[in-house]
Amino acid sequence: MKRFTAILILLAAVAVSAMPDASPKDNSEFIFARVEPTQREYRMYWSEAPWHHDYPFSEEFILGMLRELSGVHVNPGSYRIVQLSSSEIFQYPFLYISEPGFLRLTDVEIANLGEYIRRGGFIMADDFRTANYLRGPEELEVLRSYLKRAVPERELVRLDARHPIFHTLYNIETLDMDPPYGKETPGFVPQFWGMLDDQGNLQLIANYNNDLGEFWEWVDKGEMPFRPAVRSVQLGINYLIYAFSH
């Protein structure tokens, strides 16, 4: 693990500067698609829409790391915002949903979500938490309820470190980690939840009581040293490679 940390620290120093070497006109092998869904009222907490949190810094950072660590060809424009109500979501095999605890989906969005999953797409749900933090609803149950309406035949299940997604590039032997915020809140302990297809392949991973995008943004903006974010990068790269290969 120390060796991996040293490698990641070295690569983090060059990742951002390396990205401009690729022309924005080059064809990218991967597009990081962030979902814009309908969400409940949020202005008592933030001025920025929850689905937009950490954008575009988290995308720019993880794309730079993906290119440097895996050799997948991406360029500085390899990310998009897509509306969940649009058929455009079916063009992207990987979707990123920020703040799923604030979802308030329409019937069209629920139908699209179910169709996307049944077609074999992969979803990363990030940045949501226990009800104790914002004194709001239990955000895992918000996500679970919409998934149950979208794909009633599937279940959201707790994952442990034995799952293959945690061993695609980096062997992550424990899921114990400090979240970027919230440690002082009772019950604020990171958990990883997933949804499997009929063959047992993971189609959705949810970072509950955690926020990988926040780690990526803070490092990208120079607001956090890289060492505390190493695990978030390992997880993100593993997720992407698993999505590419399953």
Q: How many domains does the chain have?
A: 1
Amino acid code (one letter) for 50: P
Token pair of 173, please? Answer: 């032997």
Structure tokens at 95: 């979707």
116 CB contacts (<8 Å, ≥6 apart)? 89, 90, 95, 123
CB atoms within 10 A of CB 54: 25
- The pTM assigned to this predicted structure is 0.90
Q: Tell me the HSE value of 69 on the side-chain side, using a 13 A CA sphere.
A: 29
The SS3 assignment for 137 reads coil
Q: First and final CA of the chain: distance in angstroms? A: 26
d(CA 60, CA 139): 27
Q: Of 229, 27, 197, 49, give the one whose Cα is nearest residue 123.
A: 197
What is the C-alpha to C-alpha distance for residues 78 and 181, in angstroms, rounded to an integer?
28
What's at 128, amino acid-wise? F
Closest CA to 194 of 134, 241, 242: 242
**What residue numbers bound the domain in which 158 lies?**
2-245
Question: CATH code at 174?
Answer: 3.40.50.12140
Residue 61 · residue 230 · CB < 8 Å: no
CA distance 8 to 225: 12
Tokens in use for 186? 């009772």
d(CA 195, CA 203): 6
Whether the Cβ atoms of residue 194 and residue 228 lie closer than 8 Å to each other? no
How many C-beta atoms lie closer than 10 Å to residue 3's C-beta?
Answer: 7
One pLDDT digit (tens) per residue for the chain, 246 residues: 444 444 444 444 434 433 344 444 358 999 999 999 999 999 999 999 999 999 999 999 999 999 999 989 998 789 999 999 999 999 999 999 999 999 999 999 999 999 999 999 999 999 999 999 999 999 999 999 999 999 999 999 999 999 999 999 999 999 999 999 999 999 999 999 999 999 999 999 999 999 999 999 999 999 999 999 999 999 999 999 999 999
